[in-house]
Each structure stands twice: as structure tokens, then as C-alpha cells.
Structure 1
Amino acid sequence: MTTGQPLGIQLYSVRDDIGPADLDGTLARLAGLGFTHAEPYDILTDPDRLGSALRDAGLSAASAHASVVRHDVTQVLDAAEALGIGTVITPYVDPGSIADRAGVRRLAETLNAAAALAAARGIRIGYHNHDFEFAQEVDGVPAYELLAGLLDPAVVLELDVYWAGVGGADVFELLPRLGDRVRLLHVVHEREPGNDRPVLGVDATGRMGEVFALAAASLELPVVEVVAHHSDVWPLVARNAAYFLAGAAA
């Protein structure tokens, strides 16, 4: 049983099950677990096939991971438009590329320029963090904080709660400061067994109700991401879906 709330999943979570023969079955299986949205990580290889599979599974794709730093912006926007994706999120940059103020500024300028092009097509550009944006400091300030201050307000933020905590951020202090810049959250309740990576900030994985409450005013979609390298990911995906859809994050 679901609460009727939208819930997305980053398809990288089930990357080993996605392929020419398995895409339809994988998406159908995710829909069966109660997910309403899928967040693709590859919209360039075969957008027509992806779009057809999403429709057949009854899943929406409101957002996608596609780097406007590494890929041609026009090609990315063409694919997003074909798939009806409204928010294109750069998911990762080389940590060394934002090790100084000039690098952070270059990234902000790239994202801002892409956002201007995207806006003309009714698409938004976003940014997704890992841990290093918080762990790396530029002139005594976390690189993420500097980047957020340089981004055009049109660039939305998809805050990965787990990675922010690993990087040393207190998400309960961070979310109120970011305000309505945060439109999507990457969330996880239960991680892969054996994932004992230390959370340097406040570990919010068991306090999702509080996280959601802080983000409620601007939150459009929570997106589950679970990555299993040494075990079957499906039980983990199912338990995370059940946790969020049961209203534990409400």
C-alpha cells in the first residue's frame, strides 16, 4: 500500500539489470514496488527506447542525470525534450576541477549558461552533489557553499542527503539555508550491508521525517538511490520503497 505520494528512483541503483533485453522488465518491477518516477542516468544512448519503456511501465521521468559539463548541451536538451524531462541534472564533476575558486566559478558559469539555453525550451538545469563538494574547502568555505552562491537562481539543487553528510555537512542546518533552491532530494533509508562509510556530518538516513519537513516548502520529488556492489540490490530497493511509501518520510 502506498500513501499516494510521488517517489522516484535513480536508475543507476539497478544499472546491472538494465539492458536491451531487461529494460522493460526492470522498469515494470520498479513500478510494482510503488515507485511513480524513474530518474534515468543515460538519456543519450537511445531516448526513443527509454521513452517507450517508461510509458509501458507507467513511470514518469521528471528529472534525469545528464552532465552538461561532459556532453554537448544541445544533444542533452534534445533528448530531455523528447522524453518530456523537465529537469536535467549534472550528477558529478571531477573533484579536482573545483579545488580552487576559479574552478568553482567555471562550473557555475557552465551551469548558468546551460540553464539559459534550457529555459528557452522549458527545461531546468540542476546539480547533484557527492561528498567532496562539502569536504573540499576553498578559502575556508566548502566548495558547495561557494558554488551555490555563484549559481543563477534558475539552477536547481538536487541535494543528496547521504553524500552531504559523508562530506561533513549538517543537513538539518543546511536545508533551511538553501531554502527553495532544493527541489529534489536523493534519499536512502537502508544502505547496503557492510557500507560502514563514516558519516562526518549528521547521519540523516534514519531521520527522514525531519529532512522532508525541512524541505517540504519546495520539494518536488524525493528520489531513492541505493547502490549495491556486493549483494542483490532488489531486496534493498524494495525495503527502501516500503519505508518511504509507508509514510515514514511524511
Structure 2
Amino acid sequence: MTSPLGVQLYSVRDEIGPDALRASLTRLAALGFTHAEPYDILSDTEGLAAALAASGLRATTAHSKITELDRDAVVTAATRLGIETIIVPWVRPDSIADRAGVTALAAAINEAAAFAAGYGIRVGYHNHDFEFAQKVDGVPAYELLVSLLDPAVVLELDTYWAAVGGADVTELIPRLGDRVRMLHVKHDGQNPFDIADVLPLATSLELPVVEVVVHEGDVWPLLEENAAYFGKLVNA
């Protein structure tokens, strides 16, 4: 059986309009991806559901600002799409510049997690670089945030952004242990670490998710390369 390999749909954000969504998802599936991670599940839930079904891709994770949006609408859409984990994708850097801000964010995520649990859905958090670059009481804001999150909240660690923010991901992932259930990964020569060495460190990994955000020209060759590269790693 093929091991799961996801792709964040933001990678093809310019090619998933109403007339291109089904074709793009089908093309991603043909490259070897098994899962799609949507970044918008509210604008056209039914269209997304139909495109996923037609392509054969599953969507078990999705980025959605459940701490800011209508929670009922978010969990309803997630249930329709078969999403098991709703991931908070981004917060304003200035909102977590001090302890009060980090504490407020943790409380909001914990509240959303308790709400979503009533529907059988988990909540997770996805980082960028600033959570590590910004220090609160001498420690990265990410470290404080994780310490305040309910253990039921899972982590989707973006390996590239964590490293850009100053984290040693080879030390961080084992220390976070089974909190890390998803990894954002890419293979494009920009990582300050060997991603092949990092993947095995996430011993409770459920889904590696390829995300290619910054690129020149056509993104599809990069996605094809990433699908082949990570497909070999996860199925080795």
C-alpha cells in the first residue's frame, strides 16, 4: 500500500479557480500525491468535494482560521470534506509579540479544539518563521505557545520556516515528540538541513505535506520532483 503524501493546495493557488480545480487536483494525483491540504474550505465546499472525489485525492487536513472564522461553518465544511484535522495556518506576528498575546492565542486555539472535538475533529497549529525568531521572556514564542496548548492540539511543523526562524529542526522534532503529526516539507535546495534525515525523526508522523510557495516560472516541474522525491522516502 502506498504511504500517504500530501500537497498543500496553496502551491497551485493560481491554478485552482472554478474552471481548473478538478483538472489540477487530478494532475496532482497523477504525480503520486494521495492527499490534498486545502487552504480554503468555505468559498466552494461542494465544488472542492466534487473535485476531490473526481481526482481520488483525500483531504484529511485543511488550513482554516477556526479561531477567527465562524466555527460552525468551518466544522460543517470540514465534516463534508472528510477533514479530520483543522489547522490554524497563520496569525499576525505582532499578535504574539508578548506573553499576553501568546497566552491569548493558546486560549483561543484550546477553545476551538474543544469545540471541534465535539464533531470528532482535531485542531492543529502551523508555524512560520516568526514564531521562532520572536522571543518572549527569552524563549521563542513557539516554545511558549506549545507549552500552553492543550495536549489534544496537534502540530504541523513547517520544517523550512522553523529553520529560517532559527530552530534546529533535528533537535526540535524529537523534543516535541508525538505532538508533531504533520510536517510541511519541500525539496528544492533551499533547506538548511537534509530533509531525508528529518522525516524519520517525526515518529508519530501521519502526513508529510509538500508545499512549494516561492518559485520562478512553472510550479509543476517542482511538484513533480517533490512527489517523486518524497514518494521514494515515505515508501522506502
Give yes or no for TM over 0.5: yes
Are 1:242 and 2:204 counterparts? no
Residue of structure 1 equivalent to 2:211: 225
Distance of 2:57 and 2:67 partners within structure 1: 27
Q: 2:135 aligns with which of 120, 134, 137?
A: 137
Residues 208 and 249 in structure 1, CA contact (< 8 A), matched pair in contact too: no
Residue of structure 2 equivalent to 1:211: 198
Residue of structure 2 equivalent to 1:111: 109
- SS of the residue aligned with 2:51? helix
- SS of the residue aligned with 1:184? strand
Q: How many residues get paired?
A: 236
Residue of structure 1 equivalent to 2:169: 171
Residues 212 and 249 in structure 1, CA contact (< 8 A), matched pair in contact too: no
1:228 is displaced (CA, Å) by 3.6
Structure 1 unaligned regions, length at least 5 = none
Distance of 1:120 and 1:188 partners within structure 2: 34
1:227 is displaced (CA, Å) by 1.4
Distance of 2:233 and 2:97 partners within structure 1: 40
Query: Per the alignment, do residues 135 and 228 of structure 1 end up closer, same or farther by CA in structure 2, a change over 3 Å counting?
Result: closer
Report 1:81-120 matches (<5 A).
Answer: 81-120=79-118
1:64 is displaced (CA, Å) by 0.2
RMSD: 1.4
Residues 64 and 88 in structure 2, CA contact (< 8 A), matched pair in contact too: yes
1:186 is displaced (CA, Å) by 0.2
| 1:152 aligned partner, one-letter code | D
Larger deviation, residues 62-71 vs 168-177: 62-71
Residues 189 and 243 in structure 1, CA contact (< 8 A), matched pair in contact too: yes
Q: Which runs of 4+ in 1 moved over 3 A?
A: none
1:208 is displaced (CA, Å) by 2.2
- SS of the residue aligned with 2:106? helix
Structure 2 unaligned regions, length at least 5 = none
Distance of 1:213 and 1:117 partners within structure 2: 32
1:168 is displaced (CA, Å) by 0.3
Larger deviation, residues 70-79 vs 167-176: 70-79
Residue of structure 2 equivalent to 1:45: 43
| 1:235 aligned partner, one-letter code | P
Residue of structure 1 equivalent to 2:150: 152
Distance of 1:159 and 1:19 partners within structure 2: 28
Distance of 1:5 and 1:62 partners within structure 2: 14
Instruction: Give the structure-1-normalised TM-score.
Output: 0.91
1:230 is displaced (CA, Å) by 3.3
Partner deviation per Cα, 1:141-184 (whole Å, 9 max, x = no partner) = 10000000000001100000000000000001101110000000
Distance of 1:160 and 1:43 partners within structure 2: 21
Residues 34 and 241 in structure 1, CA contact (< 8 A), matched pair in contact too: yes
